[in-house]
Structure 1
Amino acid sequence: MTTANPTTATESTAPVPHMAGNFAPVKDEVTAYDLPVTGTIPPELTGWFLRNGPNPRDAASRHWFFGDGMVHGLRLEGGRAVSYRNRWVRTASFTDGTPAVDELGRRNLTASAANTHVVRHAGRTLALVESSFPYEIDCRPGHELETIGAHDFGGRLTTAMTAHPKTCPTTGELHFFGYGGPHPPYLTYHRANAAGELEVSRPIDVPAPTMMHDFHLTAAHVVFMDLPVVFDRSRPGMPYAWDPEYGARLGVLRRDDPYGEIRWLSIDPCYVFHALNAHDDGAQRIVLHVARYPDYGADNPSHLWRWTIDLASGTVSEEQLDDQFCEFPRIDDRLAGQSARFGHAISAEVPGSGPIPGALLRYDLHSGAVVRHDFGPGRTPSEAAFAPADDRPGGPGWLLSYVHDAADDTSDLVILDAEDISAAPVATVHLPQRVPYGFHGNWLPDPVS
C-alpha cells in the first residue's frame, strides 16, 4: 500500500548542480508498506533507519546546504521491511516562513532547515542543522516522523547546536557546540547529561567566526577544529570564504575541567567537514582521524588523514592514510572516543564534482588495510550507518545505506555485512521513490524493554 501527499514542490529544472539529477528534491511525502526485498534482512534488525537531507520545496535554493530538511525513514522488523516514509521537518521556517534574522538583526534559533542529521539522545529523536535549535521528531507507532517542535533543553540552550554532537558511550553524556553569527562569542561548548539535562555551556574565545562543522571527543578530551573558512557576509550563497592567512589550529579541552584552559596547537591550513573518530593514546597523545580537504572547495577531494597530538611537545603530526576520495566517515558509535579499529566512508559525487564511481570503503585503522565495495555502474551510496548484531562494541554488524540507481532513477536500502563488505549485499530493500542525495542519519534500534 502506498499513499502520497502532494505539496507545492516541483522537480527542479534549474541547471545548478545541487538541484540536478539525484540532488534534485522529491515533491511528495510518501508512505509505503511491506516493501519488496531481494535477499534476506537480518532478523536482528528491529528499528528505524533514518537519514536526513535537504529537499527544497522550490527551485530557489541558493546552495545544497540550504534546502528544507526531509527525513527518510525505513522501518525494519523481524526480517521484514515494514514501511518507508519521508517527511519534511516542520520548522518555524517551513510552516510560517519565520526568518532567521529579524528586522533588528536578532537571530531566531527556531528558524531552521533541520536538514543535516538525525540522532537520538535521552529518549528524544532530534533533527539537526548547525545554524539553529534542534527539532524533535516522533518515532512512536502511529506518529512516525511527525514534527514535535524545537528543543532548547528546557530553555537552557541559547545558541545554535552543531549537527554533529557526540554521545559518550561510558557516561551517556551528549557533547556538542554552537557557532555562527557575526558577534562573539563565536563558539560555545555544551554538555548534557545522560538524562538530557544541559549542564555545561561555556563560551570559547576564537579570533573570528569560522565555519566549524564537526569536532572530536575522547575519553578525556574535547578537541575543536578552528580552520580557515571565515564568515563573509558579502558572499552570495554560503557566506564563508577560504582564508589561509587565518591559520588552522586544534583546541584541546579536558573533559574533567570544562571551564578550564583550552590549549591551541597549529596545523597546516586545510578544511574538515567530518571527523571519523578520536581517542587518547596514553596521557599525552590524542589520535584523530578526519576526512581532510586541502582547502575549501568542491574541486579538491577529501582523503582520510590521521592527526596525532603530542601534548608534551605541543605539536601535531599529520599523515595521509589513503589516496581514495572519501567522505561521510563513520564508526560503530558505541566506540565513540575510544580506539575503534574499523571505520567506514563512502566515495560518491558531490554537487559539481561530476560522476564518481559509487563505493563504500572499510578502513582498518590498525593495519592500514582498505576494503572496497563497488555498487556497480550508476549506483551511488549515501552515508552508511552501522547497525550492531550484538552487544559487543566493535563486533559484528551491518552497514545500511540508501543507494541511488541512475539507470532507472530509483533508490534502494542496501544492507552489507560490515565484516565482509566486498561480498554481495545481504539484502536490498526496493523503495517506492528515489531518495535524493543527503547528509547524515542513524540506525535507531528499538529500546530494549
Structure 2
Amino acid sequence: MTAKPYLTGHYEPVVDEITARGLTVRGTLPPELAGRYFRNGHNPLPGVVPPHWFQGSGMVHGLRLRDGRAEWYRNRWVRTPALDGVPYIGPDGVPNLAASGAATNVIGHGGRILALQEANLPFELTANLDTVGAYDFGGRLRTAMTAHPKEDPVTGELHFFGYGPFPPHLTYHVADAAGNLVRSEVIDGAGPSLMHDFGLTAHHVIWLDLPVVFDHAEQSGIPYRWSDSYTPRIGVMPRTGPAKVRWFEVSPGALLHVANAYEDAAGRIVLEGPRYDRSAWETSWKWWVGAPGHGVEPGVGSVWHRWTFDLTTGAVREEAVDDLVTEFPAINEGLLGREHRHSYAVAFPGAGLREYHIAKFDLATGTRQLLPLGRDRMPGEAVFVPAAGATAEDDGYLLTIVSDLARDASELLVLDASDLSAAPVAVVELPRRVPAGIHGSWIADEETS
C-alpha cells in the first residue's frame, strides 16, 4: 500500500520528544524577540496511521528566544485522552470534547497557552510545553472551540465559536482580556457546514456558511463533503448583539483561513483569504485522506480572494486578488479587524512557481513580493512580530520554520517583513527536521508573566 502523503516527505512525523539547548544562531536575533515561538501540527504516534491528515495527534514545537539567544528547542505531544486511544464518540453516542488531537493551533491569551482543535475543548499547556489538561473556562464553555479565535487588538477580547453538524450548529463566545468567558450565544440560522474560521471587524462578526457540509456517508473520519445543492452564504452580524445575522449569498467556494476582515471607509465589509473552488477542494481532500488522484500538496488551487459586502444596497462584489496558489495567510495582528495594506502567505508550487515561497501582497499597489526558499525547502505559516518602536504596518519580522528535505534539517527563519528581498535577519538552526505543520504563535514574555 502506498504511504499516506501526510506521513511522508515534509510531513513525515518525528518519533520522539527531545530538548536541545543553546541553539546556533546565524545573524542577530532582535532584542525585542523575547518570548516563545510555538508551532502545532499533526504528528501521529509511531505505528499509528490516521485515516485523515486532520486526525493526527497534536505535537507542539517550541523555541525560547531571549537576549539575542535561542535558549532552547523542544517538542512535545499534547497529552490528551485521544493520544491514549480514547475515541471522540463515546459508547453512549455522545462526543467527548476532551478526546482531542489538539493539533491545529496554539495561542496565548489571558496568561494561558492553549492548544486547539475545532471539534474539542482547548488544552492548556505550560510555557515549557507540558500538558496541564482540558480547559473549559471554569466550566462556562460547553461547546467545542474553534482553532482560529480572534483577539481584538484594541479591547484584548478573544472572540471564538463552537460549531457542529447538529443543532445548534453555531455558538458564539467572547472571553475578556483576562481570559474570563463573558458571553455565549447561539447563532440562529447557521447550517451544518464546515466552519473552520471566521472574520472579525471592529464592529461585526463574519460567519462562513459555505458548501462543504456534514455528510454521514463520508467515510474518511471527517464527515464533510462538497455539496452543489447547498446555498453558499456569508453572514454579517453586529458584535454588540443581539445575535441577528444578515446572510449574503455568494458564489460556490470554500475558505479555510481568513486573512482579515474590516470595514472600509465607505462602511462596507471586506473579507479576504485563499479560496477553493470545487476542483481545488476535492483535490486537496484526496491529499488529506490519501485517496487516489490526490495532488502533491495539501492546498492545491486555493487563490487569494476578496468579498465586499455593501450593507446599504445588499450587493456583494467578489474578486480574485492574485493567482498564486497560497495558504496560511497572515497579517500584522495589530490590525486584525481593521483595514490593512500588507498580507503574507505560503505560496506553493504551481501558477508558474517551481518551488515554495513566502509571499507578501501590497493591497495598495496591487503588487507582490516573493521570497524563494530553494529546492526541497518548505516554509510554514509566517507569524508577524512587530519591531520595537514600529512606525509602519510592515515594520517587523516574519517567523517561519523551514523543512529542508535534502539536508533532513530545519531552521527558524527571522525575516524582515518590510523587504523579503533582504537577507534573513537571523537563522536559528534546529536539532532536527520539524515536520510541516499547521498554525502557531509568537507569545511574548509579558503575555505569560
TM-score, normalized by length of structure 1?
0.92
Give 3-state SS (helix, strand or coil) of 1:28's partner.
coil
Distance 2:2 2:33 in 1: 40
Counterpart in 2 of 1:325? Answer: 325
CA contact (8 A) 1:19 1:59 kept: no
Match of 1:368 in 2: 366
Find the aligned partners of 1:25 and 1:64 in 2 and give their Cα distance.
Answer: 11
Contact 2:191/2:209, CA 8 A, preserved across alignment: no
Q: How far apart are the structure 2 equivalents of 1:271 and 1:394?
A: 29
Equivalence for 1:91: 80
- 1:44-83 Cα deviation digits (max 9, x unpaired): 2111110000000033211111100000001111111110
Q: 1:67 aligns with which of 48, 53, 56?
A: 56
Give the 3-state SS of the residue equivalent to 1:176 in structure 2.
strand
Alpha-carbon separation, structure 1, partners of 2:394 and 2:369: 17
- Tell me the residue number matched to 1:381: 379
- The 1:104/1:391 distance shift into structure 2, 3 A limit, reads farther
What's the offset of the Cα at 1:426?
1.5
Match for residue 9 of structure 1?
none
Q: Does 2:231 correspond to 1:247?
A: yes
Q: For residue 14 of structure 1, report the CA deviation from its aligned partner.
A: 5.6
Contact 2:261 2:338 in 1 (8 A): yes
Q: Is the 8 A contact 2:37 2:64 kept in 1?
A: yes
From 108, 121, 136, the counterpart of 1:152: 136
Q: Give the RMSD, CA atoms, in angstroms.
A: 1.8
The 8 Å contact of residues 176 and 182 in structure 2, kept in 1 or not, is answered as: yes
Q: What displacement does 1:17 show?
A: 0.8
For residues 243 and 359 of structure 1, the distance between their equivalents in structure 2, rounded to whole angstroms, comes to 32
Q: Is the 8 Å Cα contact of residues 307 and 317 (structure 1) preserved in structure 2?
A: yes
Contact 1:136 1:147 in 2 (8 A): yes
Taking the aligned partners of 1:14 and 1:25, their CA distance within structure 2 comes to 16
- Contact 2:344–2:360, Cα closer than 8 Å, also in 1: yes
Runs of 4+ more than 6 Å apart = none
Correspondence for 1:236? 219
Q: Where do 1:126-275 residues align within 5 Å?
A: 126-139=114-127, 144-181=128-165, 183-206=166-189, 208-237=191-220, 238-257=222-241, 259-275=242-258
1:101-125 CA-to-partner distances (Å, cap 9, x unmatched) read 1112111111100000011111111
1:125 aligns to what SS in structure 2? strand
* 1:79 partner amino acid: G
1:276-355 to structure 2, matched below 5 A, reads: 276-282=259-265, 284-295=267-278, 296-297=281-282, 298=284, 300-348=300-348
**Percent sequence identity over matched residues?**
49
Q: Secondary structure at the match of 1:34?
A: strand
AA at the equivalent of 1:373: L
Q: How many residues align?
A: 427
Give the match's secondary structure for 2:257. Answer: strand
1:398 Cα offset (Å): 0.6
Query: Could you tell me how far apart the structure 1 residues matched to 2:345 and 2:360 are?
Result: 7
For 2:373 and 2:329, locate their aligned partners in 1 and report how far apart those are by CA, in whole Å. Answer: 18
- Whether 1:35 and 2:23 are equivalent positions in the alignment is yes
In 1, the alpha carbon distance for the partners of 2:178 and 2:186 equals: 23
SS at match of 1:18: helix
What runs of 5+ residues in structure 1 fail to find an aligned partner?
1-12
Whichever residue aligns with residue 315 of structure 1, its letter is A
Any gaps of 5 or more consecutive residues in structure 2? 285-294
Deviation at 1:98, TM superposition (A): 2.2
Q: Of 336, 353, 356, which residue of structure 2 is paired with 1:358?
A: 356
Question: 1:446 aligned to 2:429?
Answer: no
TM-fit CA distance, 1:207: 5.8
8 Å CA contact 1:348, 1:381 repeated in 2: no
Deviation at 1:391, TM superposition (A): 5.1
Q: Decide which moves more: 278-287 or 83-92.
A: 278-287
